[in-house]
Structure 1
Amino acid sequence: MTHIYFVRHAQPEHEWQEDRTRPLTEEGKRDSKKVTQILSDIHIDCAFSSPYQRSIDTIFESTTTHCLEIVTDERFREREKGQNGNDFGIFQKRWSDFDFHEEGGESLNMVQKRNIEAFMEILRDHRDENILIGTHGTALSTILNYYEPTYNCDSFLRIIDFMPYIIRLDFDELRYFKKEELLYVEKEFKGAIRADKK
């Protein structure tokens, strides 16, 4: 059995303009230690991550504890966001039409395609291992939707405030078996324009 530990990053500095280099808040850094605690008694064979700083920083202490190098993969990056890309209404529109994207942004199909491509390679190359992957809310949600098509906009909005968030997916070779949530810390996702706050 192959066990994949997806870790959605801890709370980032939402006012930081450059998405790729956006760091964790001091609170986010402290919450990352909870990731280390959860994974401390689990043997981890290898670690991968989105190249974005907040994803790397969230799993860094854990990988150091396990004496692992983090291998970054550009395909695991978060969705490219265009103008008003985090508007609540746009969330709903994107999830009802996987090919829809705002100007300058990626559709969920685009995000899912590259994330699944990278993920399938890992599954094939690391059979029967315990694998850690640092990820993002939308990127992770497209992977979960791929294996469970009932995963929808409401499912995505349920985890939007979970930072950090750990979910384990189990596979028998390439066959998805089950999932289990191991940790979530609720922090408001301030990057979203919510319908209840307009």
Structure 2
Amino acid sequence: MTIVYFVRHAESNVNNHDDLSRELTEKGKKDRKLVTKFLLEKRIDLVFSSPYKRAVDTVKDFADQEGYAIQKIDDFRERKVDAGWIDDFSSFAKQQWEDFNYKRSEGESLHEVQERNIAALHAILEDHGNKNIVIGSHGTALSTVINYYDGSFGFQDFEKIKTLMPWIVQFTFEGKQCTGIKSIDILNGY
């Protein structure tokens, strides 16, 4: 059995529109301690992350405390929306959830995000079966992973977690078969 804890990053500075370098807010830095506390009880073997700073920094406190190197995997990055910032994100997100292939000219569809995240996850499952694994992630990317294993997860569910940062989702696997998904709200004492 392999257990994977996807950790959606803590609150980040939305005034920084650069996806790669967007840092955590002071609240986000405080809240990542809740992630550390939760993970310390889980006998973690490996730590992976999206290369984006907010995802890395959310799991870094735990990784540093336990002496783990964070292995950055580009395919776990968040969805590219477009060349620029989108002000009406909710309408855009709804359109993408209604049509998994919809994308802006320089962006990615949810289908593309899901494919690369699942491919990266399957590679980890093949190489590191029967381990407890942490993956630093993002709201949309993580939502597409949930949707892959539970097709009932859609836009309404995405809307519910939109402001839930940090957020942990525990996946249990036998080989590559997902046998369980559990949402963990660490902000409210899980």
> For the superposition of Structure 1 and Structure 2, which TM-score range results when normalised by the shorter chain?
over 0.9
Q: CA separation of 1:174/1:104 partners in 2, compared to 1, >3 Å: closer, same or farther?
A: same
Of 107, 110, 124, 1:108 maps to 110
- What is the one-letter code of the residue matched to 2:23? P
d(CA) in 2 for partners of 1:110, 1:92: 16
Q: Mean alpha-carbon deviation: is it higher for 82-91 or for 119-128? A: 82-91
d(CA) in 1 for partners of 2:35, 2:156: 25
Computed over aligned residues only, the root mean square deviation of the Cα atoms, in angstroms, reads: 1.4
Give the total of aligned pairs. 186
Q: CA separation of 1:19/1:66 partners in 2, compared to 1, >3 Å: closer, same or farther?
A: same
Of 159, 162, 175, 2:161 maps to 159
Kept in 2, the 8 Å contact 1:40–1:65? The answer is: no
d(CA) in 2 for partners of 1:35, 1:86: 30
Of 121, 124, 131, 2:123 maps to 121
TM-score scaled to structure 2, two decimals?
Answer: 0.94
Of 165, 174, 177, 1:175 maps to 177
Cα offsets for 1:53-103 (capped at 9, x unmatched): 000000001112222110001100000012537522211110011100123
Kept in 1, the 8 Å contact 2:34–2:186? The answer is: no
- What is the one-letter code of the residue matched to 1:147? Y
Kept in 2, the 8 Å contact 1:22–1:52? The answer is: yes
Unaligned runs of 5+ in 2: none
d(CA) in 2 for partners of 1:128, 1:68: 18
Partner of 1:53: 53
Q: Mean alpha-carbon deviation: is it higher for 12-21 or for 75-84? A: 75-84
Percentage identity across aligned positions?
39
d(CA) in 1 for partners of 2:128, 2:179: 16
d(CA) in 2 for partners of 1:144, 1:17: 26
